[in-house]
Structures are given as structure tokens and as C-alpha cells.
Amino acid sequence: MAADNDFSLDELDTGGMDAGGEKSARGARDLEAVYDVPVQVSAVLGRATMQVSQLLRLGRGAVVELDRKVGEAIDIYVNNRLIARGEVVVVDEHLGVTMTEIIKADRA
């Protein structure tokens, strides 16, 4: 499944302005300095709230009901910031996530 949101960092335009107020032509090359910075990526299947006493009663095989339904998109966070929604996939016996929607953050 090819997504319309697939792109490489080389295709990004940083939208920066140079000293004269004109758009910078350097683009993604400016980002090379951050390529090796580690980030935390989390895929949240759903959430549940329970009391500590309920949590302590959970045992092996217990089922915790989440606030999402089967087939609903999962949230993808980078450094605790929602950046996308996606679907769970299986890749060579490992779970993975494919992004189906990029969340555009409003910058203030």
C-alpha cells in the first residue's frame, strides 16, 4: 500500500528565510545536523483507567479493555507529541506501524 504521505528528508523544504527575507534554497541539507539525534517513538493502541486495587488484581491472561475499537487508527507519538495516526502491521514476525495520516501541528 503506497501512501501519499511518503517522502524522504531530501524532499523537504524547511521554509526558512535567509537574511534578506528570501526563502532559503538549502532545504533538507540543513537538517543533516540532526539526523543522528535519538527520538522516542510510541504507538498507542488505546488507553484504560483503573484503580490501583484493580491493577493489583490483574494476573496472567487478564484482559484490559481499551478505549479504542478494532480497526480504529492508533496514535503515533514522537517525544510525547502526536505526529500521526496509523495501523498495526506484521513485518517478519514483528509488530510494526504504518502511518496513514500525518497530523499537522499548529505552531503558535
- Judged by average pLDDT, the poorest of 6-15, 26-35, 36-45, 61-70 is 6-15
Q: How far apart are CA 38 and CA 5, in angstroms?
A: 22
Greater confidence (9 vs 70) lies with 70
Report the pLDDT value the prediction gives residue 26, as an integer from 0 to 100. 67
Among 95, 75, 78, CA closest to 86? 75
Q: Is the pLDDT of residue 38 over 80?
A: yes
pLDDT grade, residue 34 (50/70/90)? confident
Mean pLDDT of 9-32: 56
How much is the mean pLDDT over the chain? 80
Q: Which domains are present in the chain?
A: 1-37 (no CATH), 39-108 (2.30.330.10)
